[in-house]
Chains A and B, each alone.
Chain A
Amino acid sequence: MQIKGKAHKFGDNISTDHIAPGRLFHLRTNLPELAKHVLEDADPEFAKKVQPGDFVVGGRNFGLGSSREHAPTIIKLAGVGAVLAQSFARIFYRNAINVGLPVLICDTSQIDAGDDLEVDVSKGEIKDITKGITIQAKPLPSVMIRILNDGGLLEHFRKHGGFALDG
């Protein structure tokens, strides 16, 4: 899977409250509307700026906090191609794969806001065209690759009639 887009840079510890704040709790049953506010408390302009295929580039511990699956879902709905970060909080990472949002663990320190990126998710290869560098991401665990390739956990479960995590 090859994705091209611009980098939107965020800092460390971007929480699920930054991504999908509790004050918009009532929009959780209206995800397209909630997606208009995605990452609002980290960058109020993000939802307006983001273009299909763009990347959210975070620092350490991206997605910490709540189990709300709505957080990766609205990042995906906003058109984001993948989230790149130094590290992810556990529940967010699992949820992102479950909803089919690619998440890659890599050194994001050299990527700046506005850089043009080209990402090969299956190879875990990130090309920063602006900088002329290639960054290698940590490979996704094989279980995650299987679920992601099936299009998320729901599709995985439907396709195999249960969990099919081996091999």
Chain B
Amino acid sequence: MGKTIVEKILSEHSGTDAYAGDIIIAEIDAALVQDGTGPLAVQQLQKLGMVEAAKPDRTVLFIDHAAPSPRKELSNAHKVLREFAAKTGAIISDINEGVCHQRIVEDFMNPGEVLIGADSHTCTAGALGAFATGMGSTDVAIGIASGKTWLRVPETFKVHVTGKFKKGVYAKDLMLHFIGMIGADGATYKALEFSGPAIDAMDMSGRFTLANMAVEAGAKAGLFASDEITKEFLESRGRGDKWRPLSADEDANYEKVFEIDVSDLEPTVSCPHTVDNIKVIKEVEGTKIDQVYIGTCTNGRIEDLRVATKILEGRERHPDTRLLVCPASKEVYLKAIEEGLIAKLISAGAAIINPGCGACVGVHAGILGDGEVCLATQNRNFKGRMGNPEAFIYLSSPAVAAASAIEGVIADPRKYL
């Protein structure tokens, strides 16, 4: 019987002929923790007396959630990670390097590999044709020390995407639409496999956005075939030699198949307080917004900043609406400076925040006030997410976010494009 992408990768990594439902012990190629989950992972390794990394050059500790540190408790947590890296030879990605999921695809992950990460959006790297999944600190700690993890091979939902995106509609709108369609628990324990002509034509940035939000449908992973676009991306990152073709077999077994024609999609917005609370733009246009946040592992890449700048260039944010822009990594930031995007965004009234996760995860640098409303390009809008349970979060593409910053209310970006 043919195999899905996840069955192929997990067969290779367990030395078994693995199919959905099998329990396997898999070799892992890389592991990540961040400053919210890493200190607990280090503590667990100390309890086990295993303060070591099986693959130090592919164990990456990210200081991104509270970077730079806003409090002494977090400064001390950062010290724990730096000391662990110094002791084991693991890699530290310190303040300003960027958000773990952006950094891990920029410099570490390749098709056919397995990544476990103590962060739920670890699934982002699935866009490269890898199996990447989020776990807790103890699971990842044991993975770091032993180079292995146990997994139940997930069943796969195929998401077959056809058609052409209309102007002003992006991968983010597709993913919000899909999550609205199947629900926040619609793919619990499953792998999503994205394919079809619209995916074949999609750039890596869009694929990262889709894979990043697989967990928002409850999925364990979001996978893509490794194709020519993957190859070009790896070549641009100096890892062309790590490319390999990888796709599902024709006769692979899918638990469900979803067909989506993107030609029908409109700019789409997720409303408070669950990601699957989806509306099309005309249903929410005019909603007053206190803060717009453009950035994160979902939509903080150079392509996202280009779209936002195109809309904001020569215009100004609404006087009652704050605009925060946070490039997802140092490289994205530098590129945005080089291309002149940052100057244009600042002129439009944006506050530029150094790369990190702080506002999205509610730690610092963009906490909302009571009753305030934020429109953000991130992946989550749970109650309390941005640091205040009395606030309201809407999610959208960078285009909708930029247009809304100008008008001070949720706005359709198409008139600016």
A residues contacting B by CB (< 8 A) are: 13, 15, 17-18, 21-23, 25-30, 41, 60-61, 64-70, 87, 89-91, 94-95, 98-99, 141, 143, 152-154, 157-158, 162-163, 165
Contact = CB atoms under 8 A, between A and B. Distances in A.
Contact of A154 (B119, B138, B218): B138
Contact of B367 (A23, A60, A98): A23
A91 B120 contact: yes
Given A13-B184, A163-B25, A67 B135 contact: yes
Nearest to B383: A41
A153 B119 CA distance: 18
Interface string B23-38: 1010000000000110
B201 to A, nearest CB: 31
14 contacts: A18-B384, A22-B362, A27-B73, A41-B383, A61-B184, A65-B382, A90-B189, A91-B134, A94-B135, A98-B138, A98-B139, A143-B23, A143-B152, A154-B138
Contacts of A21: 362, 384, 387, 389
B120 A65 contact: yes
B133 to A, nearest CB: 8
A68 B389 contact: no
Contacts of B362: 17, 21-23, 25
A15 B361 CA distance: 13
Interface range on chain B (Cβ under 8 Å from partner):
35 or more
Interface of B: 23, 25, 36-37, 39-40, 44, 47-48, 65-66, 71, 73-74, 76-77, 80, 117-120, 122, 134-139, 142, 146, 148, 150, 152, 184-185, 188-189, 215, 218, 220, 274, 361-363, 367, 380, 382-389
A127 B273 CA distance: 33
Contact of B385 (A22, A29, A70, A158): A22
Contacts of B25: 163, 165
A139 to B, nearest CB: 15
B382 A89 contact: no
B48 A154 contact: yes
A66 B138 contact: no
Contacts of A157: 48, 142, 146
A4 B387 CA distance: 35
Nearest to B75: A26
B188 A61 contact: yes
B150 A25 contact: no
B23 A165 contact: yes
A98 B118 CA distance: 14
A60 B64 CA distance: 31
Contacts of A27: 73
Closest 6 CB pairs between A and B? A22-B362, A69-B136, A95-B136, A61-B185, A26-B73, A15-B382
A76 B139 CA distance: 18
